[in-house]
Amino acid sequence: MYTIRTLNNISQTGLGKLPPAEFTIDPEAANPEGIILRSFDMHQMELPENLLGVARAGAGTNNIPIDKCSERGIPVFNTPGANANAVKELVLAGLLVSSRRIIDGAAWVQSLKDNEDVEKAVEAGKKQFTGPEIAGKTLGVIGLGAIGVQVANAALDLNMNVIGYDPFLTLESAWHLSASVDKAETLEELVSQSDYITIHIPLNDKTRHTFNQELFAATKKGARLLNFARGGLVDHEALKDAIEKGIIARYITDFPTAELLGIENVIVTPHLGASTPESEENCAEMAAVELREYLRYGNIRNSVNFPGCIVPYSGKPRIAISHSNIVNMIGQLGAVFTKHHINIDKMVNNSKGELAYNIIVCDNLPEDENQLIQDLYAIPSVRRVRLLK
Ligand SMILES: NC(=O)C1=CN([C@@H]2O[C@H](COP(=O)(O)OP(=O)(O)OC[C@H]3O[C@@H](n4cnc5c(N)ncnc54)[C@H](O)[C@@H]3O)[C@@H](O)[C@H]2O)C=CC1
Ligand SMILES: O=C(O)C(=O)COP(=O)(O)O
């Protein structure tokens, strides 16, 4: 029996993928084997002693201490693409809201409640809410992953010109991206040509404050900037300066902070990108299945820190081992298996960065299984050993 702790509200349909005969779901569990979460900040908590796997029902994993998890041989999963449509739809709304003064206009109409002739007041006052059309304008998309590709393609359908920037574009994204999207070689090239800019990259040490004073200096005057990715991608001091100078005509973001409130031409939504029933269900289902398959069989799909590794279950016991990605590990593991007279039926060894992961399917197990596990842990740089029967 595995205990799964949920750190946020997770769709019940998704949690239904964890059969109660094998999994107990307990939001208060002190020492769970698995964690499923959304945006809960795990940097603030100690990793539970028994923790084996963490599944983020969503895309961004900057709220999870990935390095600490890797050190302890704990894979962190996310759910690529499962909320991309929800975010795309909100970005399209953001694009229109950034252009047409829908929000200001609607608020102003409410202020006319006690006016004697509302119709007349509206026709006289509406000119203050004029805003340009997006058709024929240029949208720059930074990050062409699951969300960026959908936003870029949808903007083409709205008759915009689209430029994209992503030095790490995957084959999967390239397959889905329209050939009509122009490629920018640098961020500066993209921002200097775009009337609208939308950011769809992860927040990490390399991307923090991507929009800084220098990039704003290269940005086309009067651009509208959309940030539905993460607040930390934009340096707020530099942003305020860019708004004052008229470089940024409007900033629309899904990531409120106190300093952004009350600034004219800044529109802030309460992190709503993935908040649709469809996306919440998709993400939760995918996260629950990823964690279930890892806990049951050691299989890994969609981990951000571990290599993918899937060996279909054949009824035989298996040993899952994670270790540092260095030379002579297979030799050392093999020696332990030989010592315990284990015949290996199948062995898969995959690596990602500084981590390697094995699933070793065994024809037989020794009588002293604890000794086998101890011997495997005795190999320097082995991080985690799991015997799954
Ligand atoms: N507002 C919300 O509720 C949501 C926000 N997000 C945010 O959006 C981000 C993107 O999500 P997905 O598209 O699903 O992720 P993804 O992993 O499919 O795409 C990210 C893309 O960014 C690219 N990239 C990475 N560093 C880059 C750089 N320095 N310059 C240009 N491109 C770079 C990658 O190559 C990849 O193609 C997430 O990391 C998350 O922070 C995601 C879902 C919901
Ligand atoms: O998937 C992401 O990266 C998101 O930002 C969505 O966050 P949420 O699950 O709505 O707390």
Tens of pLDDT, residues 319-360: 999 999 999 999 999 999 999 999 999 999 999 999 999 999
Residues noted as catalytic: 230, 259, 271
Atom 3 in ligand 2: which residue has the minimum CA distance?
A: 60
Residue 19: what residue type?
P
- Chain centroid to CA 302: 11
From CA 33, how far away is CA 260, in angstroms rounded? Answer: 39
Atom of ligand 1 nearest to the CA of 147: 13
Atom 25 in ligand 1: which residue has the minimum CA distance?
A: 201
For tokens 């593991």, the residue is 333
How does residue 370 score in pLDDT terms, banded at 50, 70 and 90? very high
Atom of ligand 1 nearest to the CA of 200: 10
Task: Give pLDDT, residue 205.
Answer: 96
Distance 124 CA to ligand 2 centre (A): 42
Task: Give pLDDT, residue 21.
Answer: 97
What tokens does 28 get? 């208060």
Q: Please name which ligand lies nearest the alpha carbon of 281.
A: 2
Mean pLDDT of 259-280: 97
From CA 34, how far away is CA 288, in angstroms rounded? Answer: 10
Task: Give pLDDT, residue 226.
Answer: 98
Q: Does domain 84-268 have CATH number 3.40.50.970?
A: no
From CA 32, how far away is CA 35, in angstroms rounded? Answer: 7
Task: Give pLDDT, residue 209.
Answer: 98
Distance 134 CA to ligand 1 centre (A): 23
Q: Please name which ligand lies nearest the alpha carbon of 88.
A: 1
Tens of pLDDT, residues 184-216: 999 999 999 999 999 999 999 999 999 999 999
The ranges of the chain annotated as CATH 3.30.70.260 are 309-389
Percent of the chain with pLDDT over 70: 100
Mean pLDDT of the chain: 98
Domain 309-389 CATH (choose: 3.30.70.260, 3.40.50.11030, 1.10.3210.10, 2.120.10.30):
3.30.70.260
| Pocket, ligand 2, Cβ cutoff 6 A | 38-39, 58-60, 83, 271, 273-275
From CA 347, how far away is CA 388, in angstroms rounded? Answer: 14
Atom of ligand 1 nearest to the CA of 165: 31
Distance 60 CA to ligand 2 centre (A): 6
| Pocket, ligand 1, Cβ cutoff 6 A | 58-60, 80, 83-84, 87, 142-148, 165-170, 173, 200-203, 207, 228-230, 254, 271, 273-274
Atom 42 in ligand 1: which residue has the minimum CA distance?
A: 59
Per-residue 3-state assignment (H helix, E strand, C coil) for the chain: CEEEEECCCCCHHHHCCCCCCCEEECCCCCCCCEEEECCCCHHHCCCCCCCCEEEECCCCCCCCCHHHHHHCCCCEECCCCCCHHHHHHHHHHHHHHHHCCHHHHHHHHHCCCCCCCHHHHHHHHHHHHCCCCCCCCEEEEECCCHHHHHHHHHHHHCCCEEEEECCCCCHHHHHHCCCCCEECCCHHHHHHHCCEEEECCCCCCCCCCCECHHHHHHCCCCEEEEECCCHHHECHHHHHHHHHCCCEEEEEECCCCHHHCCCCCEEECCCCCCCCHHHHHHHHHHHHHHHHHHHHHCCECCECCCCCECCCCCCCCEEEEEEECCCCHHHHHHHHHHHCCCCEEEEEEEEECCEEEEEEEECCCCCCHHHHHHHHHCCCCEEEEEEEC
The ranges of the chain annotated as CATH 3.40.50.720 are 1-83+275-306, 84-268
pTM (2 d.p.): 0.96
Q: Which of 166, 177, 276, 279 to mutate to test the pocket of ligand 1 (most atoms within 8 A of CB)?
A: 166
Atom of ligand 1 nearest to the CA of 86: 44
ipTM value for the complex: 0.99
Atom 5 in ligand 1: which residue has the minimum CA distance?
A: 229
Mean pLDDT of 225-251: 98
Task: Give pLDDT, residue 331.
Answer: 96
Distance 295 CA to ligand 1 centre (A): 27
| In this structure, CATH architecture of domain 1-83+275-306 | 3-Layer(aba) Sandwich (3.40)
What tokens does 189 get? 């090239």
Question: What number of other Cβ atoms are within 10 A of residue 310's Cβ?
Answer: 13
Distance 146 CA to ligand 2 centre (A): 14
Task: Give pLDDT, residue 355.
Answer: 98
Distance 36 CA to ligand 2 centre (A): 13
Task: Give pLDDT, residue 33.
Answer: 98
- 209 half-sphere exposure, CB direction, 13 A CA radius: 7
Q: By the 8 A CB rule, do 334 and 319 touch?
A: no
